[in-house]
Amino acid sequence: MTGSSGSGVPWRDLVPTALVPNVLQGCGQGAAIPVIPLAAVALTGSPATAAMVAAMLTVGQVLFALPAGWLVGRFGERSTMLVSTAATGLGGLLAHLASSVVLLGCGALLIGSGVAVFATARHAWITAVIPAGVRGRSLSALAGATRLGMFAGPFLAAAAFHLTGDARGGFLAVVAMSVLLVVVIASVRFDGLAGAAAPAGIAAGDEPSPKVFRTMWQRRDVLLTLGLTVSVVTTMRITRRILVPLAGVAVGMDDVTVTLVVGIASGIDFSVFYLGGVVADRWGRLAVAVPALVAFGLSHVALALATQLSAGQWWFLSGTLVMALANGWSGGVVATIGSDLADPRAPAPFLSSWRLTTDLGSSVAPVAVAALAAAFSLSVACVAFGIVAWVAATILPSRVRRFLPDSGG
């Protein structure tokens, strides 16, 4: 799992089959995220209702995490990508035409489900065809492509909103990106590149099983140990989105300044994603995951100190920038470890379980932040999640070496 392969990343095949589709899919998702609550407020005038409707995007992703594995195993990666993209486009169209909050919620749910299924199909494709020696770089590049699309998406939504004069007009960006994505996927060839060996614990003669629940049960040990530990990385990404703006306001910054800091941090985040993939391929997955968790812990503690010390704004800036570095550096490591563990002959059943497991922390993180901040304080919430990151960094090496003895580090 470590060391460079004899050949580099197969960019000629990876760009049309994965990177360009990821940018387009990221654009659609990035457009939907801000538009859903805005459209809900326009329909109901209630922020609480808008929050509930916005949550349907995540609900769709969680509900279809496991069915995605069955769909990919049954119909193949390309067909599943096409159908899931069509579902996302249909969800965008339904949301655009919605005259009630119920229809808008259904549209958001459909968008989220399409995103989840597409992500599993894309991950399974990369796992099956990309050599293990360049897997870290490939999946980090994939994460960077998604970040690029997510960055551009809100601007596309804003342009659509300006043209239509209606908040729901932003969903036309989701529809347009889905149409382009269907065209791209239907046009490119999805030939195998270079098969990978089966991971430790899966014999070469075993028949890969397309049964999602059977796979989840058979691999429950790795999911409940290594999977839950790695899920802390995704949890830190979500707490970052919540805690950074709150800490910025707490130290006395205005909304414009906080937004500017977040924008600069996003640029730093994007600048290091590929470096993390290079390190993962050359020195192992632990060389990326452990430093990222340590940095996440330090940056959360820095945010806590920012709200308590006189030089709070400098602590805030330092913590935010370190957090951005950790986020970009670790961009592809969760997916890479999942690919290492999956059977490359039929990766989708395991990868859908892996996705569900590693998303558990990020699903409960907003509620945990709100509960800690309400019961204690914002600084306590920051410190609590910093400790969680450090605990994960401490126990992760033994778990990675147990299930991926050749992963290095």
Co-location of 36 and 174 in the same domain: yes
- 217 and 183 fall within a common domain: no
* Contact status, residue 247 vs residue 262, Cβ threshold 8 Å: no
Calpha distance 5→135 (Å, rounded): 10
How many domains would you assign to the chain?
A: 2
Which of 152, 187, 222 terminates a domain? The answer is 187
Query: Do 152 and 251 have their domain in common?
Result: no
CATH number of the domain to which 270 belongs: 1.20.1250.20
- 203 belongs to a structural domain: no
223-236 pLDDT, tens digit each: 999 999 999 999 99
- 120 shares a domain with 235: no
Pick from 280, 22, 282: nearest CA to 136: 280
In a domain, 199, yes or no: no
Residue whose C-alpha is closest to residue 238's, from 51, 48, 370, 401: 370
For residues 90 and 273, give the distance between their C-alpha atoms in angstroms, rounded to a whole number. Answer: 32
Rounded CA separation 315/308 (Å): 10
| Domain's final residue, options 170, 187, 204 | 187
- Average pLDDT along the chain: 86
Q: Say yes or no: 182 and 276 in one domain.
A: no
Do 290 and 359 fall within a single domain?
yes
Query: Is there a single domain that holds both residue 48 and residue 121?
Result: yes
**pLDDT on residue 194:** 43
Res. 198: pLDDT tops 60: no
Q: How many CA atoms lie within 13 A of 59 on its CB side?
A: 12
Q: How many CB atoms lie within 10 A of CB 162?
A: 10
**Phi, psi for residue 254 in degrees, rounded to 5:** -80, 170
Statement to judge: residues 336 and 386 lie in one domain: yes
194, part of any domain: no
The tens digit of pLDDT for each residue in 35-72 reads 888 888 888 877 777 878 888 888 888 888 889 988 98
Q: Does some domain include residue 62?
A: yes
SS3 call for 367: helix
pLDDT digits (tens, 9 = 90+) for 297-338: 999 999 999 988 888 889 999 999 999 999 999 988 999 999
Does residue 204 sit within a domain?
no
Q: Token pair 């400790």 is at which residue?
A: 387
Residues 164 and 289 in one domain: no
Structural domain boundaries, residue 237: 212-403
Kindly state the greatest CA–CA separation across the chain. Answer: 64
> 272 with 331, same domain?
yes
Q: How far apart are CA 278 and CA 46, in angstroms?
A: 47
What is the residue type of 185? Answer: I
With respect to residue 75, please indicate whether it lies within any of the assigned structural domains.
yes
169 plus 101 within the same structural domain: yes
The per-residue pLDDT for 169 is 87
> Same structural domain for residues 97 and 240?
no
Residue 68: inside a domain, yes or no? yes
Distance CA 363, CA 22 (A): 22
Whether 27 is in a domain gets the answer yes
